[in-house]
Structure 1
Amino acid sequence: MKILIVGAGAIGGYFGARLLEKGEDVTFLVREKRKQQLEETGLKVKSVHGDIEAKPQLITARDVDNNFDLVVISTKSYQLAGAIEDIKPFVGRETMVLPLLNGVAHVDELVESFGEEAVIGGLCFIESTLDEEGTIIQTSPTHQLVYGERTGDKTERILRVKQAFYGTKADFELSGHINQDMWHKYLFITAMSGITTAMQSPIGPILELETGQRTIGTLLDELVGVMTAIGAPIKEGIAQDQFVKLNMMHPDMKSSMQRDAEKSMPLESDHLQGFLLKNAKEHKLAVPVLETIWTKLALYERTREAVSNK
């Protein structure tokens, strides 16, 4: 299977490197600066599951190539529009598009660009980042990528994907209910990213406080209320399940959004918290904790933009 990974950052670079390690036909679509860096240093991963060094196949959006069987999108949500334009030349009639973005709003954008049939569902759970030299640092026991047909069917093409992923030194899981999985991940990451970034703290110190416990519980209830109002395929009791999951996390765990904020980078708040806040307003739902978190993130973005424009 001919696989194109869009981006060679902390997520796409990690899972792409694991596929390369196995011997799969993987190409990375990258910006010119990242291409030059990888040509000089190679793709390097330092992981609790074993380090990797590879010389990957690299292309940029200006290069000409044949269509790929599978295109994996691992960009941030605010980079999606550019990524869609970049991959159009590489998506053929039979190409599958597998997004690993947080949230769900990106699915409609991809369907609009490539058609209902092309887009399959996906998500991932991993804690990884790039260091100053461009090395991928992966530190958590979890390194899971979940994928599947959005219809839930085990089609011939999705079984070919399964075969390509099988035997890789990461947890690639075929799901028969990927839509629900994506919404459940959306619930978890919106709560986790919102609370840690707004509080400027890892999850542990927040959970040590009784007020922190109540704030997280209320936020999860608000998010579930919005998701229920818009007909999301979430299961009963998911708020409590995610509350327990958050309480089981390592106390030093930070969300990727918090790490981005610490680096003065853009945030995915529009795509995550903003999407649900917009729907809450449309359904006239009271979501005071979500509004408070959104306000904090919006103020961060204003300050960041003001500084960058000086």
Structure 2
Amino acid sequence: MRILVVGAGAIGGYFGGRLMEKGVDVTFLVRKKRKQQLEKYGLLVESVHGNMAFPEPKTIQAGEMAEAFDIILLSTKAYHLEGAIRDIRPYTGNKTLILPLLNGIAHMDQLTAVFGEENVLGGLCFIETTLGENGKVIHTSPVHDLVFGERSGEKTGRILKLQEAFSGTKANFRLSENIEQGMWHKYLFISTLSGVTSLFRSPIGPIREQAFGLNSIKEVLKEASAITRGLGAPLADGIEEAQVKKIREIGYEMKSSLQRDMEKQQAIEADHFFGYLLEKAELLDLHAPVLAAIYANLKVYEKNNL
């Protein structure tokens, strides 16, 4: 099975590296600067689950000739999605499967519109990684989960073949029979975590130990779940309480990737996460004042920094 990983960044570099470590045929679609970096230093990964070093990972740049791939692993940021779609189209065939790992839901409509309902799988990941010196992928916590599945929940022949390709690695690749629910649950969780940490400019610990901070966490969950339930999302009963419990248990110094991007004065996914929710809230005639405050905070950041 030939796999194309879009980008060799913190997420694609890590999971692509774990597949290469097993011996899977992986190629990275990269931009010129990253290609030069990989040619000079190789793909380097530092992880509590074992370091990896690949001196000459296979790479291509957009526009280079290559046969269609079996799987395309898409882990780009939402604001790069249109460009990524353009770049990968020449490398798709009738049976090429697109496995997106983006946070949120809005990207699914874009992908299915271009590649067709049948060719787009459901996917998500839980991992805390960043890029260090010379483009080294630094994996900073024990969690390294990639969850995938047919959006119908079926165990099709092709998804079982993909499961076989993903099995036996040091990362936790997991087949789900309810991937759509998993994607909505992650959207709810990430919106809450990234929303409050970016609003308060703080790791989660100091926020949750302050009474009004904890109340803000609960209000974001309440507003976001009301909107997503209004859209018909298959949320589990009691998911709000379960996610409050999860937020209470995660590391005191945990930051969201959105917050880290703001600290580096980089682009953020304000519209993909919160603009989408507020747009749907308006259509559903739902009031979401805390989500609106989070979104306003992010748009002010964009105006002042980007």
Query: Do both share a fold (TM > 0.5)?
Result: yes
Q: CA RMSD in A?
A: 0.7
In structure 2, how many angstroms separate the alpha carbons of the residues matched to 1:138 and 1:45? Answer: 7
Match of 1:3 in 2: 3
Q: Percent identity?
A: 54
Which residue identity is paired with 1:28?
Answer: F
Q: TM-score, normalised by structure 2?
A: 0.99
In structure 2, how many angstroms separate the alpha carbons of the residues matched to 1:50 and 1:88? Answer: 34
Mind listing any 5+ residue stretches in structure 2 that lack a counterpart?
Answer: none
Cα deviation code 1:97-144 (max 9, x no counterpart):
000000011011000010111000000000000013210010111100
Match of 1:46 in 2: 46
Cα deviation code 1:168-220 (max 9, x no counterpart):
10000000000000000000001111111111100011011011111101110
In structure 2, how many angstroms separate the alpha carbons of the residues matched to 1:12 and 1:135? Answer: 12
In structure 1, how many angstroms separate the alpha carbons of the residues matched to 2:148 and 2:82? Answer: 22
Match of 1:141 in 2: 142
In structure 1, how many angstroms separate the alpha carbons of the residues matched to 2:36 and 2:142? Answer: 31
Q: TM-score, normalised by structure 1?
A: 0.97
Is 1:36 matched with 2:54? no
Which residue identity is paired with 1:23?
Answer: G
Mind listing any 5+ residue stretches in structure 1 that lack a counterpart?
Answer: 306-310
Which residue identity is paired with 1:4?
Answer: L
In structure 2, how many angstroms separate the alpha carbons of the residues matched to 1:36 and 1:286? Answer: 49
In structure 1, how many angstroms separate the alpha carbons of the residues matched to 2:196 and 2:292? Answer: 12
Cα deviation code 1:77-101 (max 9, x no counterpart):
0000000000000010010000000
In structure 2, how many angstroms separate the alpha carbons of the residues matched to 1:131 and 1:262? Answer: 15
Is 1:297 matched with 2:298? yes
In structure 2, how many angstroms separate the alpha carbons of the residues matched to 1:3 and 1:48? Answer: 25
In structure 1, how many angstroms separate the alpha carbons of the residues matched to 2:245 and 2:154? Answer: 30
Residue correspondence of structure 1 range 89-128 to structure 2 within 5 A: 89-128=90-129
In structure 2, how many angstroms separate the alpha carbons of the residues matched to 1:112 and 1:47? Answer: 37
Structure 1 stretches of 4+ with a deviation exceeding 2 A read: none
Displacement of 1:230: 1.1
In structure 1, how many angstroms separate the alpha carbons of the residues matched to 2:52 and 2:174? Answer: 21
SS of the equivalent of 2:134 reads coil
In structure 2, how many angstroms separate the alpha carbons of the residues matched to 1:296 and 1:53? Answer: 40
Cα deviation code 1:193-250 (max 9, x no counterpart):
1111111100011011011111101110010000111111111111111111111100
Match of 1:150 in 2: 151
